[in-house]
Chain A
């Protein structure tokens, strides 16, 4: 069964019969985490780097922002038995439109927000597929922890 993670959404599962998937990451980031010992995995699909732009919306939709979504993803996985040192991390998305520089480059800013938070909390990314001008779909199998990536018009590949 597929648990679908929408835009500004998060799903964590420990059901080995389930896949967690998020479609169509443009400049958004799909953060995938997995603890292979307890087989707990999940995906956060956030849109924007900082909740400071609109605190009210951050309360309404905490998964919309990196700074309010990322801690919730980890805490939910911890509550299901996952432990920080065992967690594997994959990051996808953060794409940009051609010539999209500086402040207008939301994809890059989304990725930098995550890197900053990970650096502060001593969290390492295991693998990533970020940037470029492509749209990505990412899926994780909870039973195995295998991660699959698909770009529009191409076949799905195992990471």
Chain B
């Protein structure tokens, strides 16, 4: 169906459900605004930057992601159970959901459509090295790849490696460098200098 047809269909359904008392359009507005403007990768980036500058926070974050992220007060049901997995020079983590599209919404917002695509969901568990290379991340053959298939309670957030040469950057500046892709594990965080 075209975008126009879909727009007509959802508009009609919203009217019907409003008449039936199942939907309050203002509540829908509020939910959309929340996921468009208030939560998104900027939340996750703050968590990552804090973990880079504060070793005690990093320990708490890896021990209990849900609790450590709650220190920031990000709202929403996506915060129910978050597990943070740390990249090391030897191990690279990447996240997928082969059965649906589980995603840590409270820290990353709405999942991008490529993450929800059949191509990503089918390939990432079977040929992660080739797929990451295609997506622009060419890992050394000695780096072990650990793919996390989100199937249970936990939603996964990757703690990327802090780029070299960023010792002088503030926590806020570091957060600016952290991308959604890096926190899913399909990219590294890069710093090209001041």
Partners in one complex: no
